[in-house]
Amino acid sequence: MALTGDNGRGRVRASLPPWIKTTALTIGSIAMTMLGLLFVTFIIGRVMPIDPVLAIVGERASQSTYDAVFLELGLDKPLVVQFGYYIWDVLHLDFGTSLLNARPVSEDIARVFPATLELATLGIIIGIVIGVPLGVVAAARKGSWIDQVARVLALVGYSMPIFWLGLMGLLIFYGILGWVGGPGRVGIFYVDVVPSVTGLILVDAALDGNWDVFKNAFSHIILPASLLGYFSLAYISRMTRSFMLEQLSAEYITTARVKGMSEWDVIWKHAFKNIRVQLITVIALSYATLLEGSVLTEIIFSWPGIGSYITTALLSADMNAVLGGTVVVGLIFILLNIFSDLLYKVFDPRAK
């Protein structure tokens, strides 16, 4: 017998598997977040004191040319209709045409984003490999010289201007000592030597077996990546230390020590195990911040990433490029949040 009425619909909803409900809620949350992001970027594009038609045709264009472009862009339609067109274009990865080079913005973003991805990934690896152990040891040896060093490093990382550290790093390690490469992703003699397969020059050089290009690219990326890694290290080590101090003061840790468990097992198998879920959030947020484009770092090191791309577009009033980059950055945050939720279920069975 078919179920009818509100009671029947309630039974049908109740009989749905939990994973279907979770998936539906996740998809709905993503859709609403993206809709809000698109609405904000759409409004920004409309309230900016820049005439998109004049930006395309120029101030010397005739009125007939202006009117033709005005109609072609759909600016004569109501705002609701324009917003619908905007959503449709974004879903098809159409962010319009850049006013600087007359190329599709989506192609420009696909070209510059791998540079930021490579730089941010190496930076977050440095931050995790050094920051997490440093925070754990600082908490386990609270008040010791290691703890003091970790706290000073975190304080300097938060307070020191990144542009100053970048300039000093270039002056010392590139200008004086010559230990690293200069600005840019690769030396001028190695540009376009290896075919671009992934857009990640280190990976492409390794796939091509051209180790001269690999070493040259590594010498260029290590300084800006270390700079970003230091700032992520400061945040990660500080939060790791805070989480570990909370766990090490818990009763179950005292019980484990009374039972004669080794300090290594107490710290790493018990206390650290219980902070992994919290660290996932910290690391994901740090990575997202680096991926959105550390603008000052990319500008100082002439790094052709999405941060410098959005900055250049903003200074040139290229709103298509600015809004396209903003949408991509927002999407990165959303995807990393979803990835964090998935990792929660891996490291914490209670979240399943």
Q: What's the CATH number where 283 sits?
A: 1.10.3720.10
Closest to 327 measured CA to CA, from 129, 163, 121, 94: 94
Choice between 167 and 28, residue whose per-residue pLDDT is larger: 167
Instruction: Tell me what pLDDT residue 55 has.
Output: 67
Q: What is the 3-state secondary structure (H, E, C) of 91-123?
A: HCCCCCECCCCCCEHHHHHHHHHHHHHHHHHHH
Q: Provide the pLDDT confidence category of residue 1 given band limits of 50, 70 and 90.
A: very low
Percentage above 70 pLDDT, the chain: 89
- Looking at residue 147, its pLDDT comes to 87
Name the more confident of 47 and 285: 285
End-to-end CA distance of the chain: 34
Assigned domain for 115 exists: yes
pLDDT at position 95 over 90:
no
Residue 252 within any structural domain of the chain: yes
Instruction: Tell me the mean pLDDT in the region 87-92.
Output: 85
pLDDT cut 90: percent of the chain above it = 18
The confidence band for 2, taking pLDDT boundaries of 50, 70 and 90, is very low
Q: Compute the distance between CA of residue 281 and CA of residue 341 in angstroms, rounded to an integer.
A: 9
Q: 87: closest CA among 47, 51, 40, 39?
A: 39
Does any domain span residue 143?
yes
76-80, 174-178, 259-263: which is most confident: 174-178
Tens digit of each residue's pLDDT (9 = 90 or more) over 228-248: 999 899 899 999 999 999 888
Tell me, yes or no, whether 226 lies in a domain.
Answer: yes
Of 282 and 16, the one with more pLDDT:
282
Nearest residue to 297 via CA among 167, 137, 159? 167
Phi then psi dihedrals of residue 97, to 5 deg: -110, 135
| Average pLDDT over every residue of 330-344 | 80
**pLDDT higher than 60, residue 74:** yes
What average pLDDT does the chain have? 82
CA 195 vs CA 12, 206, 210, 212: distances in Å: 55, 11, 10, 14
Domain that holds residue 126: 110-351
Domains in the chain: how many in total? 1
In-domain check, residue 233: yes
The per-residue pLDDT for 16 is 63
Angle at 257 between CA 253 and CA 260, to 5 degrees: 150
Q: With respect to residue 317, please indicate whether it lies within any of the assigned structural domains.
A: yes
DSSP letter string, 30-77: HHHHHHHHHHHHHHHHHHSS--HHHHHH-TTS-HHHHHHHHHHTTTTS
Q: Count CA atoms within 13 Å of residue 208 on its CB side.
A: 19
Domain presence at residue 63? no
pLDDT band at 127 (very low <50, low <70, confident <90, very high): very high
Confidence label for 15 from pLDDT (cuts 50, 70 and 90): low
In this structure, are residues 298 and 305 in contact, taking their beta carbons and an 8 Å threshold?
yes
Higher pLDDT, 16 or 283: 283
Residue 104 lies inside a defined structural domain of this protein: no
Burial class (CB in 10 A: 0-12, 13-18, 19+), 111: middle
The whole-number average pLDDT for the span 28-40 is: 81
